[in-house]
Chain A
């Protein structure tokens, strides 16, 4: 999952980048609203963590501009201003959640995951699942039919992305961007190799990961035969 961090204070930005990386997010940090807007418009983020006090425009204005321009990426406002009017202003500007400084990291991560989940149509509970496969994003525990399966970080991120888009084919480019942090893996066989590892780790449930010829992969049931 990719998060765009918009925070002008370098020390706080560095802390957020390190903390979210440890929580298994891919992150990109920027320090002003102008750069943030162009990065958000370019797409490819699953959430935006947005500070309110920025040197060029405030976070409320940026939030409203992004929504006006059709960007529906979940936005969590992060700010030292914690009055009721500030929170209401932020939510009315199109933010999905609001976290006040000083924050508890664990809570910030949980809120980010929550807004990302709300952005998906298939999963309303706190975990991702399809058929016998279940992933707890917080504890990073993966189970098949209730039995634990041990995955590497890359395998976990790959399964997490496929489950988040269960039933929908995801392209190799998307996987390259969201699982390998934008490195150009789409043309190499690295994705195929990891899909193969993942299928083996999942045992019989691995067959739920299906190749979509010429496009990428999906996790879902086999289409019933016609006729």
Chain B
């Protein structure tokens, strides 16, 4: 009964957070359409507008995928996933912007106990949160580190680092409605296979650590 009551109380906050997450890319798509049609454009301008609209729709599709994941009990997926291939997808996602540095050799030969698509999404969501919460466009770097039996992917920002409240929600429970949707989804995926998402504090670095179970 108590669990049910807690869930009912958390629902409005969660629904509000989701509405906000959806509204931002939706506003961008609607705005692009309106702007494209408000006067005659060249073919190149229409192509650019369509490309941007496509990006916005792709983001909305990703968000609905994340919501589907959150709505279900995520089953463990033993994989294995090849970490270098997952990181290559992250590198490719940010290739145009140059915002994220992922060393080409990172993750080679490391197999992770997870589904490759799901693992990519878990890492990409953390990286996206990092990009949005860095100070003054600080470059983001990913590096792979082995710590005992676990593999860690460290997501760090160079100076001036992240805004102080970038990762504070990680101190709370994964289901806390105040946790941003991206981090919440990433945590749920990682938790399902025995991984974890933690603030990498105390070692002089500014960032987070994605802990992954080796296959």
Contacts and interface: CB of A to CB of B under 8 A. Distances in A.
Interface of A: 8-9, 11-12, 15-16, 18-19, 22, 31-32, 35, 53, 55-56, 80-81, 83, 100-106
B163 A15 contact: no
Contacts of A102: 23, 26-27, 29-31
Interface residues of B, number: 30
A101 B163 contact: no
Contacts of A9: 24, 28, 132
A105 to B, nearest CB: 5
B79 interface: no
14 contacts: A8-B132, A9-B24, A9-B28, A11-B55, A11-B56, A15-B28, A22-B35, A22-B39, A55-B163, A80-B23, A80-B27, A101-B27, A102-B26, A106-B34
B93 interface: no
Given A55-B166, A81-B16, A15 B32 contact: yes
Interface of B: 16, 19-21, 23-32, 34-35, 38-39, 52, 55-56, 132-133, 135-137, 163-166
A102 B16 CA distance: 15
Contacts of B52: 11, 15
Contact of A101 (B26, B32, B35, B165): B26
A106 B35 CA distance: 9
Contacts of B56: 11
Contacts of A8: 132
Contacts of B164: 56
A104 B24 contact: no
Nearest to B99: A10
Contacts of B133: 55
B165 A104 contact: no
A80 B19 contact: yes
Nearest to A86: B16
Contacts of A101: 23-24, 26-27
B20 A81 contact: yes
Nearest to A103: B27
Contacts of A106: 34, 38
Given A15-B32, A80-B19, A105-B38, 18 more contacts: A8-B132, A9-B28, A12-B24, A12-B27, A12-B31, A15-B28, A15-B31, A15-B52, A18-B35, A19-B31, A19-B35, A22-B35, A56-B165, A80-B23, A100-B23, A101-B27, A102-B31, A103-B30
A21 to B, nearest CB: 11
A73 to B, nearest CB: 23
Contacts of B136: 32, 35
B166 A11 contact: no
Top 5 nearest A-B pairs (CB, nearest first) are A80-B23, A101-B27, A102-B27, A80-B20, A56-B163
Contacts of B30: 102-104
A96 B19 CA distance: 24
Nearest to B31: A15
A56 B52 CA distance: 27
Contacts of B165: 55-56
Contacts of A15: 28, 31-32, 35, 52
Nearest to A7: B24
Q: Which of B23, B52, B165 gathers the greatest number of chain A CB atoms within 10 Å?
A: B23
Contacts of B23: 80, 100-102
